[in-house]
Amino acid sequence: MVTAAVCAVVAGYRSYAAIAGWVADVPAATALALGMTADRRPSEAMIRRLLQAMDPQLLTAAISVWLAGRATTTTTAGRTIAVDGKTLRGSRTTDTAARHTMTACDQAICVVLASIDVDGKTNEITRFAPLLDQISGLRDTVITADALHCQREHVIYLAQRGALRAGVGGCGPGRASPS
């Protein structure tokens, strides 16, 4: 059922009712491929309860691992991961601030490997290590990031994880050096 909900969201369906409508309308063969019997599909209430109970960070991590496992890299060079934060357009309401997230994307295969929320009580600097902690094996990986990540702690963190320091954008010689 989670796979069906993810497929519906990727297809542009955003509300619980819209997701349920998509699930109800898929052909029988598609329902079977998604693990549902063709004549017994989940209701909107069931989909809503399931999605509300899920941890979005765990879902993002699971999807990223699955996608990365299926992608093939065409380059022989080491892996490059881009870290960037974005404020999500249309996420601000009269009662809440706009949602800001930070993602780590494998540049060779164009797959988001990890994502983390940056709430209003913190900033991207404090979320850098927790974001990359979601990714196993950074050895020999170049990490690119905005200049605001030219922090001594970030360089030390990357060195401890075995990542290549040269990828931190904007950090010239002598800046943010761990020594």
pLDDT tens digits for range 32-80: 998 888 788 999 999 999 989 988 778 877 777 777 676 655 444 578 8
Q: Is the same domain home to 80 and 157?
A: yes
Cα radius of gyration rounded to whole Å, the chain: 20
Token pair, residue 102, equals 């930070």
In a domain, 111, yes or no: yes
Task: State yes or no: pLDDT of 18 exceeds 90.
Answer: yes
CB atoms within 10 A of CB 99: 16
Using DSSP's 3-state secondary structure scheme, residue 52 falls into helix
The verdict on residue 64 lying in a domain is yes
**The total number of structural domains that make up the chain:** 2
Assess whether 90 and 42 both reside in one domain.
no
* Structural domain includes residue 12: yes
Please report, rounded to a whole number, the percentage of residues in the chain having pLDDT higher than 70.
Answer: 85
| Average per-residue pLDDT for the chain | 81
Q: What is the mean pLDDT of residues 13-36?
A: 91
Tokens at 162, concatenated: 């075995």
